[in-house]
Amino acid sequence: MAERSIDRAALFLLKKAAREGVETAWDRFEKQQPQCGFGQLGICCRNCNMGPCRIDPFGDGPQEGVCGATADTIAARNLLRMIAAGAAAHSDHGRDIITTVYAAACGEAQGYEIKDEEKLRALASEYGISWEGRSKEEVARELARAVMEEFGMVKGSVQFVKRAPEKRRAVWEKAGVLPRGIDREIVESMHRTHMGVDNDYVNLVLHGVRTSLSDGWGGSMVATEFSDVLFGTPQPVRGKSNLGVLKEDQVNIVLHGHEPTLSEMIALAAKDEELLALAREKGATGINVCGMCCTGNELLMRHGIPVAGNFLQQELAVITGAVEAMVVDIQCIMPALTKVAQCYHTKIISTSPKARFADALHIQFEEHNALEIAKKIVRVAVENFPNRKPSLVQIPEEEVEYVAGFSVEAILKALGGSLDPLLDAIKTGKIKGIVGIVGCNNPKHTHDHGHLNLTRELIKNDVLVVETGCAAIACAKAGLLLPEAAAEAGPGLRAVCESLEIPPVLHMGSCVDISRILVVAAAVANALGVDISDLPVAGAAPEWMSEKAVSIGTYVVGSGIFTVLGTVPPILGSKNLVELLTKGAQEVLGAVFAVEEDPFKAAILILDHLTAKRKALGLD
């Protein structure tokens, strides 16, 4: 394999890790080579105990499992289970947020309040809940109950589906993929993939689309909207990124995972005078709270809190030897962290009852006394400061500024209150199109190489890029989230960015915040009176690895947006399934997947797609 990363801070710490004999994901990836061919092709089935069964990919061995399932059935069932797991992760995150909204509105969540009343009003009216003569808490309680009901369901289809253009809803109705309830589709996915239920790969994929839509226009959108209600809707904010944000003379706390709920309180607790005094007593000059992955994104979107890095940098943060505590909640937290931490003084503190780790310190988060728990966690970190081993401390110097916080509301504000300037720029061709680049890191590719090269190629060609998740952190570290990065954009996009004083790459939040991108796409389509699938837009996940990314990719295609995957999904063992997802879906959904591992070639695929869509709309 080529270089492990193009991030100098990462390379610096990988060398340190090698010197100190500490293994990272890259080493473990090498030890896993070669990886199982049946797994890579998606043609092993463990869904019943007559198996496990495998299909011979080259045709001279068994072509059916014990039950008679073919490669098509097995690969499609496996794909559906990946979608279901991804949708479950996002949607359960959404459930926790709405539960906290309810508790806050009942006065049972210490430290939480309804911060964005304007958003609460807008959401209440969307749900047909009257505001007249009632307190915001009363309204929030009724709204939260109505949203909670969407998980089990009730009334036809998920509420936020109505945000999609009418033409798109018609597509969904015709295909039979309107999501009927957030949990329901996930449960049905598990039912259908049980032995002897759904065996038709087309029918399985259609339900995969429905399940993913219950995530994108359901669980994820709930997570985004109600995080805004609780913690405020993001507005442009400056901050710093990469491992250089760790401070040698301060207590460093890294908040890693996905939820904003506890981390907001820890950010607050770190300003507590008593704890700051304790930190000084222990020899530190302050308490430095940093984010990592999507917990980091949630914090930087709202507060400009420094972000230490993306997915593949979690172990590297510990390897600096300068992290007193890494506080984790849920999702994308490597179980290896506790083992790496044993080589340093870092305490890995787990906080969710859903996600426990061998050898971690568990301090369980409870919303009714969240601030107390947050203070307890910060205290553990502060008290750990004297345990640092100075000989093992090496913090890379890389520290790059970013501007984040581009919620839909913030984008509208930057445009002067209406979409018109953006629509005009698209119509005149100053902006060729809009592309969402999202997703993880994956040691199968050089870290950040896919994200940065695809982003650069697109902005160079006058494509406005919107990002979330680890892709956005990659661009933050490369300085692409600064208005000054407009200098790297083509002349059309550059002019637009300079006049609006925005970066050419807009950070829209965490991975659940891809729902914000859907809202923008729907708004643009509605303004032009077309379907989302008619727009010059595309999606890309250059370095994806998680099941959540599979759900995301599917709801993005399901929403009518051409999507390019940068790592090969485990479906190639079924030619029919590949054909359906890369060609057949066009007729049903107006969009397809493509797979291209080379970001430069992916850029060409996307630019060609945008050109074709512009032509069909009569632009150019």
Contact positions vs other proteins (CB under 8 A): 34, 36-38, 40-41, 54, 56-61, 568, 572-573
592 SS3 class:
coil
Write phi, then psi, for 361 (nearest 5 degrees).
Answer: -85, 125
Peptide bond into 503 cis (omega under 30): no
Q: Cβ 280 to other proteins, closest distance in Å?
A: 53
Q: What is the DSSP letter of 362?
A: E
In terms of CB distance, is 157 or 574 closer to other proteins?
574
In terms of CB distance, is 318 or 595 closer to other proteins?
595
Q: Cβ 61 to other proteins, closest distance in Å?
A: 7
In terms of CB distance, is 37 or 529 closer to other proteins?
37
Residues forming beta bridges with residue 116, ordered by sequence position:
none
In terms of CB distance, is 559 or 574 closer to other proteins?
574
Q: Cβ 43 to other proteins, closest distance in Å?
A: 10
Q: Cβ 35 to other proteins, closest distance in Å?
A: 9
Residue type (1 letter), 531:
D
In terms of CB distance, is 40 or 394 closer to other proteins?
40
The total number of residues written for the chain in this structure: 620
Q: What is the largest CA-CA distance in the chain?
A: 74
Beta strands in 325-482 (DSSP E): 325-328, 347-350, 361-362, 400-404, 433-437, 463-467
Cα 285 to Cα 300: distance, rounded to the nearest angstrom = 22
In terms of CB distance, is 102 or 201 closer to other proteins?
201
- Residue pointed to by tokens 């595309």: 538
Helix (H) or strand (E) holding 214: helix 201-214
Q: What is the DSSP letter of 568?
A: -
Cα 101 to Cα 145: distance, rounded to the nearest angstrom = 10
Q: Cβ 520 to other proteins, closest distance in Å?
A: 34
Q: Cβ 22 to other proteins, closest distance in Å?
A: 24
Residues forming beta bridges with residue 436, ordered by sequence position:
466, 539
In terms of CB distance, is 277 or 568 closer to other proteins?
568
In terms of CB distance, is 40 or 369 closer to other proteins?
40
3-state helix/strand/coil string of 121-162: HHHHHHCCCCCCCCCHHHHHHHHHHHHHHHHHCCCCCCHHHH
Q: Cβ 164 to other proteins, closest distance in Å?
A: 34
Side-chain half-sphere exposure of 271, counting CA atoms within 13 A? 6
Q: Cβ 507 to other proteins, closest distance in Å?
A: 33
- Residue pointed to by tokens 């307190």: 135
Q: Cβ 58 to other proteins, closest distance in Å?
A: 4
In terms of CB distance, is 238 or 575 closer to other proteins?
575
CA–CA distances in Å: residue 217 to residues 119, 163, 248, 343, 586: 17, 8, 43, 43, 20
